[in-house]
A and B are shown apart, each in its own frame.
Chain A
Amino acid sequence: MTPCASACAAALTRLPGMGPARLLAMIRDRDPRDVWDDVVHGRISKKVFAQPNLLGDSPACSDRSWASAASRFDPEAWWSKARSRGVDVSWIGRDGYPAVLADDPHPPGVIFWRGSLASLDRPRVAIVGTRSASPDGRAVAYEMGRDLASAGVCVVSGLALGIDGSAHRGALSALGEAARDPASVAATIGVAASGVDVPYPRRHAALWEEVAASGAVISETPPGYAAQAWRFPARNRIIAGLSQLVVVVESHEAGGSLITAEAAIERGIEVRVVPGPVGSSACAGSNQLLYDGAGPVRGPRDVLDALGMLMPDPPKPGQAKGRRRSRRSPDGTRISLGPTEQAVLASVGWVPSSLNKVAERSALPVAQVAGALDGLSARGLVADDRGWWTRLR
């Protein structure tokens, strides 16, 4: 007896040596049950194995090795277990498959998710960046995630440490704040490189649950499978494919988010970049994108503007437009600084610097510098991350 179509589609993804290109060649315009039947009986066309891999060499495999793997495996039992963990599946050409991906040049043949894909109907923006981000970069990603989500934009990201995690957390916080009108806020979508039930990095396990509970965690990796290295760049193409606009917040030279940006450019999707300090190596890659011609964004408003969603806001007289640079505390009161604090603030700079550097630049006694930094961070002008100080405003 042939198992159900969903189980067959899911089972195809976990054949040895299966990758996005082979899967797509097999399953496009066909019923997964017929494909599975072909696998079991070793009737796979040579063309499938000759598929050029998206990302380099494919591991060797043959219809015989697949047939033997398939004969030792019960798709129905495995899939019902995954289903019980809340995993959904769809494949190209079938109901529930994200429409945006169907037109992609390299769509995932089969896609898994936990949660609801409803927010994909909204405007979608990817916020991506480095894992080792500066506190400033994380703050920008958080605020952007929060403000875009409250404006009804679905924030797509990769669930990684650093920028990705901050963007998701920002979007989730918008849901929490909008208790009165939750429908106006868009849920966030995380695209994973591992199976949707295998949180990676482990530290983000709670974040995965939250994202899956309000929005969705998506992956083309079969449930229960950890991510191999090649899954990450493959995942990045899905992030790009799902989005109307990709915002790079901070990226190292040759960072993974540049792959996302490249995939977006290939697909004709606009890439925007948050400018960073020129001396910061965390911004080397993102600044290179700017130099290469990507447009800058200064904050969520610019992103909404690029999406054509910005409601004209009567500017308040005397208020600077760049909100982050104004020397006002979060509650809007003007901050007055003493001469020591001013000197220390000037010595902190926008790139993370050690206490040693701040003391060196300001040429003030260490006791005064430490005291001033304490006061400045209490007022939200500087932040410290494991002993590294960065100016926030």
Chain B
Amino acid sequence: MAVVIYLAGLQAIPSELYEVASIDGATAWQRLRFVTIPLLAPSVTANTLLCIIGSLQSYQLIYVLTGPINPATQVLSLAIFTQGFGGPREGQSSPRGTPRRSRSSSSSSWRSSRWPLSPTSVAGRHRYDHPPVVAPAALQAAAVQHPETAHVGHRRNKPLAVVSYLLMLVVVVIYAYPLLFLINTALKSNNEFLVNPTGLVQSPQLANFASAWRQGNFGAYVLNSVLYTFVAAGLGTVMSLLVGFPVARGYVKHPRVWQGLFAAMLFLPNTLVTVFQLALRLGLYDTALGYILIMASASAWARCS
């Protein structure tokens, strides 16, 4: 996730800046230090926030590594989870995970009370401070490429490039080796695996994949995953639009407060216990519908992924 955000941020940096920097004699390190890093600052902020939110909400690793009730490593999310399911204090944990539910009580204020329906209100609020036509000739003149600067481009620093390619190669090997080993093992027949568990495969067989697909009932599971993913994510997207539009435009009261709430909700610990009780009482426990509905709302409101 972080990599995707950094990539988007990097692509948004105009290449002209690098050209200008190299014309002014900046080295590769200086271009990195004074162009790339300052312009990536928003992406760094976003990633830092996402990481903090993710750390605050994570409990699975702690559960697996140090156990659910070890006081030395207890965190709020894990406490809610362990006390909420099966323990004697099931009732205690619900209120802690509850605040996210409070939004439903005030749903009536989402009405579009200030949608500009009457033409008079529209005319009253219109502001034409800027001329509607931008002089196109000036824009075109600015956009003309100057051929004499085109050859400058990025001056390649040879040793640096070699080092970076070597580093990338090392990373590729580290990441690819386990995968290739996995494929190598998967292609062996049972006998070959017993005889030679780690060596290179001699007679590759694809039948393993077919039987794994059949015995593991993978087809049905993939179908389920696809169904849940598309329906829940689609619903969540529509919900985001429905909720985000009136808040962004100020068609509800106190839009800034709502925006603050959106951000604050990302930091809340998980609501698993509350959601579980809700599903039980609505009769949605153990139904695909219940899973889709809860997942849609959770993915719209929480940090997802």
> Are A and B interaction partners?
no
Listed in ascending order, the chain A residues whose CB lies under 8 Å from chain B are none
